[in-house]
Amino acid sequence: MAVIIPSGTRESPGTPDTPKQSARGSRFRGRGRRWIPYAFLLPALALELLIHFVPIVLGVAMSGLRVTQYQISHWWDAPFTGLGNFRIVLDFDGPTGKALAQSFFVTLGFTAVVLSGAWLVGMAAALALQRAFRGRGLLRTLFLVPYALPAYTAVITWRFIFQRDNGMLNHLLGQLGLIDSNPFWLIGHNAFWAECVVAIWRMWPFAFLILMAGMQAIPGEVYEASSIDGAGPWRQLQMITLPLLSSVNKVLVLVMFLHTFNDFSTPYILFGGSAPPAGDLISVHIYQSSFATWNFGLGSAMSVLLLLFLAVVSACYLAFTRRTGHES
């Protein structure tokens, strides 16, 4: 997209629409060509609107309606409640709001653990593969397997591993003599950690991929110069690698945050549709509570709140990182 620059802007930046001096022919050609890139973008724009924008607008519209089973076949006729749905959802003394708040905090904890876990593992792997050695290509490919596997296949395998009686994890822990009786991993409090492990496992190759790409942009001479000055690997990491990766990290952390906070497939597949309270992530919570009560207006209101929250966090994050970027 960046390659195609409308010719008019190139010829006379600032006043592209008044090229009075230019010949009639070239003006015609210029105007005609100026539309070409936009024409190429049109199908993408239309699809973008259809696939992303329209559902969001519909969701927002639905959040102001009382849509239950009586209206779902003609939901646009549902009675308007204004902010009624939001009042129910944000009433933290009521059962609906209380459950939502609880799920929100579980999701915050989950995001913090998964984000740091995935970043650390990804960083460690990227560092390990920074220098060329035999078999590096193979390891690189191998590391990307969790990311390349379809979510369902990967998570359902973890589900088998975590089963209490026949799961591999408990078998392994038992063999090592670490446990006396088999703990539960898919229900109860451990469910949170099980979910985190699976999410980290799915996410770290992404961090690895991005960090590895970022490291390749760091010139080798910088490391050579620093080692002549006597810097060890730890100091090199602190003073060279991390600072030079900061712009990559900025984007990486935001993308991973949004991805993790919205994770649907991990809890949905791991817990077979009914997430235990300890692992009740917000996206599954919204899905389940909407289908449990068939109240899609409430579900939409929760989704709109989620969207607002993520938009605000992203905006603050970008503003903050930009400012610190300027300061440095």
Partner 1 sequence: MQRRIRAVALAAAAMLAGAGVTACGGGSSSASGDKTITYWATNQSTSLDADRKILQPEIDKFTQQTGVKVKLEVIPSADLLNRILAATTSGKGPDVLNIGNTWSASLQATGAFVAWDKELLARVGGESRFLPAALKSTGATGKDPASLPLYTSSYELFYNKKLFKAANITSPPKTWSEFVADAHKLTKDTNSDGKTDQWGLGLQGASSSFAAHFAFILGTQHGAEVFDGHTPKFDDTGMVDGIDQWLSWIGKDGIVNPSDAEMTDKVALLQNFASGKAGMILAQSSTGRTLGQYKMTTADYGVVPVPAQDPAVAGGKDIGSFVGGINVAVFKNTGNLDGSTRFVKFLTSAKEQVYLNKTYGTLPSVTDAKDPAFDTPTLAVARQTLDSRAVPLPQIAEESQFETLVGQAMSSFAAQTATGKQPGKARIKSEMTAADQKLEAGN
Contact residues: partner 1, CB under 8 A = 51-53, 55-56, 58-59, 62-63, 66-70, 72-75, 88, 94-96, 163-165, 182, 184, 186-189, 258-259, 262, 264, 272-274, 276-277, 282-283, 286-300, 302-304, 306-307, 310-311, 314
Query: Who's near 297: CB < 8 A, 6+ residues apart?
Result: 62, 63, 64, 65, 66, 67, 68, 78, 81, 85
Contact 185, 169 (CB under 8 A): yes
Cα angle vertex 144, ends 138, 145, to 5°? 95
Torsions phi, psi of 229, nearest 5?
-75, 0
Neighbours of 285 (CB within 10 A): 23
The least distance separating partner 1 from the CB of residue 306, rounded to whole angstroms, comes to 6
Q: Which is nearer to partner 1, 126 or 199 (CB)?
A: 199
Work out how close the CB of 141 gets to partner 1 at its nearest, in angstroms, rounded to a whole number. 27
Shortest spacing between CB 189 and partner 1, in angstroms: 7
**CA pair distance 14, 185, nearest whole angstrom:** 63
26 vs 69 by CB, closer to partner 1: 69
1 or 51, CB closer to partner 1? 51
Shortest Å distance, C-beta 296 to partner 1: 5
Residue partners of 287: CB distance under 8 A and separation at least 6: 264, 268, 299
* Closest CB to partner 1 among residues 88, 252: 88
CB of 307 to partner 1, least distance (A): 5
Hey, what are 223's tokens?
């490391």
Tokens of 165: 């009686």
* Least separation in angstroms between CB 2 and partner 1: 21
Residue closer to partner 1, measured from CB, 112 or 318: 318
Beta-carbon contacts of residue 217 (< 8 Å; ≥ 6 apart): 244
Return phi, psi of residue 19, to 5°: -85, 65
User: For partner 1, which is the closer residue by CB, 75 or 208?
Assistant: 75
In angstroms, give the least distance from the CB of 265 to partner 1.
9
- Choice between 42 and 311, CB closer to partner 1: 311
Task: Give the C-alpha separation, 127 to 130, whole Å.
Answer: 5
